[in-house]
């Protein structure tokens, strides 16, 4: 709800100015931590919300479980499990949104921040309540606390209100030893982390053979000795034992006897000149054989 692109500005202006009857907030069930950040902001608008958790087919496939009842208790709104791929849950989410719209009851957001910040928000709400929509006074208080430039520009508050609000904000920043926007961001994520910890049960995945090997070879104490041992082993095999045997066989037997004698007999049979025989056998074939002999090493 802090827009940066034109599309985000249009979306926020619609939610603020056109007063939708209800909102279906579609989130990714495989990444709740990231998606629930926007959810907490939407709920603060006071508009009835249906939380639709999509990709539940993937969540179940991964062996994870999401406690829908716990999420409903935390956010105070209906929660529906959906799967766009399988076409599950979309109608239920729409019906619940219609039910909420017909009730015409504003969603009352619950306090999610620490007590010092909640006290500060209450003070700001009391200062600006005459200039903003009462239903959204909490949302506006948070935006004023964050010093949201677009919100500040949209409302012409009296100077004494702005001065008192700024004093309150600075006191909170000094108490928390951080800037106001970072305070809100950090406490939102702490709240979301707590919700996810209580509502999502992750399936403990078994380590694959590759994972087990990685744990050993990337160990902070064993990685360097293992690396040195592997390099020594490769050098020993390629130069001292197997590599030396293959190189000797390539130089002495393959190119030293078989290929050379075969090429000589073939050239003599077709009657090529001696200088051409020497060029092909002693020059080209011997040269290529010498180079290929180093390949095993």
Residues 185, 179: Cα–Cα separation, whole Å: 10
pLDDT of 291 reads 80
Specify the pLDDT at position 296: 63
Model pLDDT, residue 241: 77
The CATH class for the domain spanning 115-187 reads mainly alpha
Average pLDDT over residues 87-110: 92
Residue 91's pLDDT is: 95
**Mean pLDDT on 175-199:** 94
CATH architecture of the domain with range 6-103? 3-Layer(aba) Sandwich (3.40)
pLDDT band per the 50, 70, 90 thresholds, residue 7: confident
Structure-block tokens of residue 206: 């078994």
SS (H, E, C) 108-142: CCCCCCCHHHHHHHHHHHHHHCCCCCHHHHHHHHH
State how far the Cα of 282 lies from the Cα of 276, in Å rounded to an integer. 10
Q: How confident is residue 3, by pLDDT bands cut at 50, 70 and 90? A: low
pLDDT mean over 256-268: 83
Q: Please tell me the predicted confidence (pLDDT) of residue 235.
A: 83
pTM beyond cutoff 0.75: no
């Amino acid at each position: 709800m802090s827009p940066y692109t034109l599309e985000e500005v249009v979306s926020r202006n619609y939610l603020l100015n056109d007063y939708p009857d209800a909102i279906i907030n579609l989130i990714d069930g495989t990444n709740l931590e990231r998606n629930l950040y926007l959810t907490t902001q939407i709920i603060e608008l006071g508009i009835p919300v249906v939380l639709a958790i999509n990709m539940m087919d993937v969540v179940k496939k991964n062996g994870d479980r999401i406690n829908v009842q716990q999420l409903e208790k935390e956010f105070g709104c209906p929660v529906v499990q959906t799967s766009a791929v399988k076409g599950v849950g979309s109608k239920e989410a729409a019906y619940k949104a219609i039910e909420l719209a017909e009730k015409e009851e504003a969603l009352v957001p619950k306090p999610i921040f620490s007590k010092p910040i909640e006290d500060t928000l209450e003070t700001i709400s009391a200062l600006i309540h005459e200039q903003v929509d009462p239903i959204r006074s909490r949302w506006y208080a948070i935006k004023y606390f964050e010093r949201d430039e677009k919100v500040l520009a949209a409302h012409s508050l009296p100077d004494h209100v702005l001065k008192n609000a700024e004093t309150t904000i600075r006191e909170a920043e000094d108490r928390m030893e951080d800037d106001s926007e970072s305070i809100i961001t950090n406490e939102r994520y702490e709240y979301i982390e707590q919700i996810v910890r209580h509502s999502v049960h992750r399936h403990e995945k078994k380590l694959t053979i590759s994972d087990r090997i990685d744990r050993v070879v990337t160990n902070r104490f064993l990685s360097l000795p293992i690396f040195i041992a592997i390099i020594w082993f490769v050098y020993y095999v390629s130069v001292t034992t197997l590599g030396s045997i293959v190189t000797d066989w390539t130089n002495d037997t393959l190119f030293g006897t078989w290929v050379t004698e075969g090429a000589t007999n073939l050239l003599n049979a077709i009657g090529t000149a001696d200088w051409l025989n020497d060029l092909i056998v002693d020059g080209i074939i011997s040269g290529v054989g010498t180079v290929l002999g180093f390949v095993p090493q």
